[in-house]
Amino acid sequence: MESTIIAGPCVIESAELLDTVAAKLVDINKKLGTDIIFKASFDKANRTSISSFRGPGIDKGLQMLNDVKEKYGLRLLTDIHEAWQAEPAGQVVDVIQIPAFLCRQTDLLIAAAKTGKTVNIKKAQFLSGQDMRYPVEKARDAGAKDIWLTERGNMMGYNNLVVDFRNIPDMLEIVPTVIMDCTHSVQRPGGAGGKTGGDRRYVPQMALAAKAFGATGWFFEVHPTPDLGLSDAANMLELDKLEQLVAKLTDND
């Protein structure tokens, strides 16, 4: 099975950022023969603080994502937080993502499934891999044909995540595509004074460990200058380090 690779900035900050990242993904695809899916959020509705940057909103954000698709020919993924967002998002993107905190929201799963697009459900920080059969059942019952699951760690006490890599083979018993979210899994949620902290140094190790446990894909939030990013700054991987890591994961190094 060909690896599924997803990469892009956490949130849409500007058209210039989208262009910079998209151009790099196209270059990596040409060099390595990959088909990296471009990811960015039009609205980060789950930020820690009310004052945090959320993005351009659905109308402008989907237009900017569509511009990326038309200009660079990349497949697209974005996340939704409310059921009504599924239909307009499905008109633009190839994969609709269900955020981890919302993976049990029945109406959200049904709306995503009804678009006919691939649905990527992120495993909640409070669920086991085996528990994810129930969100999958909801999406399948609503007509979803292609469902992915994504591991992103579990809460362990306050302000920290721990990854139990056994969740990957457990979820592979439910769906054939299980992705490791290598950047959100190094978060320290809400642990940086009104925002989420983390440590991007461990992103490559998360990716390689997931490969050893049978993951069929990887998710990376990337940014040319992550420390200046407007969301998830501590966790995003430097854009110029993505190619080497993807090459190692896909045995093209």
Q: What is the pLDDT of residues 25-36, one digit of tens each?
A: 999 999 999 999
Q: What percent of the chain has pLDDT over 70?
A: 95
Helix (H/G/I), strand (E/B), else coil: 75: coil
Poorest-pLDDT segment among 70-84, 160-174, 196-210: 196-210
Q: Which two tokens stand for residue 98?
A: 């269900």
| The residue to which tokens 């457990």 are assigned | 170
Which one, of 67, 102, 68, lies nearest residue 85 by Cα?
102
pLDDT band at 220 (very low <50, low <70, confident <90, very high): very high
More confident residue, 126 or 2: 126
Beta strands of the chain (E only): which ranges? 4-8, 37-39, 76-79, 95-98, 118-122, 147-151, 154-155, 161-162, 178-181, 187-188, 197-198, 217-223, 237-238
pLDDT band at 158 (very low <50, low <70, confident <90, very high): confident
Residue 218 confidence (pLDDT) above 90: yes
Which helix (H) or strand (E) covers residue 30, if one does? helix 15-32
> Can you give the pLDDT at residue 198?
79
Residue 253 confidence (pLDDT) above 50: no
CB atoms within 10 A of CB 141: 12
Residue 192 confidence (pLDDT) above 80: no
> Can you give the pLDDT at residue 49?
74
Nearest-angstrom CA–CA distance, 112 and 144: 8
Residue 47 confidence (pLDDT) above 70: no
Residues 2/31, Cβ–Cβ less than 8 Å: no
